[in-house]
Amino acid sequence: MAKIKHIAITCEHPDDVAKFYREGFDLVEVARNDRQIQLTDGDINLTILRWKTNADADVGPNGENFSGIHHIGFQVDSLQEAGSRLQQIGGDEIVRRDVAGPGETRPPRAEEKWSGPNGQVLDISEPGWLHKLPLD
């Protein structure tokens, strides 16, 4: 069974938005780069992304400079099976990450991005996203 493990919000000022969720809900920052800040409650990853532009393959149905929930990520048992299932029910593959990005330690094929029936961007991943709290 797939589990929701990742929600991404796009906004103009990621630092301010991340600060709100850290201070308001005691979320912990687990990673950051020039495009995103990843927070967690220990179970679900909340990623704060800088606004998408039309140059981004996964800009989403709301277009560039949209502030709000951009995509939802599902951790699945098999990328291949989940992708086939989504394709059979009308999903469209948007992006396949075949390699880890610079400075990232996630394994290759960490996630695929799909479009649902209303254009909503969906992530599917076997290994999931950073959501483990650091050990004290």
The CA–CA distances, whole Å, from 125 to 12, 13, 26 equal 26, 27, 26
DSSP character for 19?
H
**Tell me, what's the pLDDT at 130?**
66
DSSP helix/strand/coil, 61: coil
**Tell me, what's the pLDDT at 135?**
46
Q: Which CATH superfamily is domain 3-125 in?
A: 2,3-Dihydroxybiphenyl 1,2-Dioxygenase, domain 1 (3.10.180.10)
**Tell me, what's the pLDDT at 107?**
54
**pTM of the shown model:** 0.69
**Tell me, what's the pLDDT at 120?**
79
Q: Does an H or E element contain 30, and which?
A: strand 28-32
136 residues of the chain, pLDDT tens digit each: 888 889 999 999 999 999 988 987 788 999 999 989 999 988 899 999 998 888 888 888 888 888 888 888 888 888 888 889 889 988 888 877 654 555 655 555 578 888 876 677 888 888 777 665 554 4
Give domain limits for the chain.
3-125
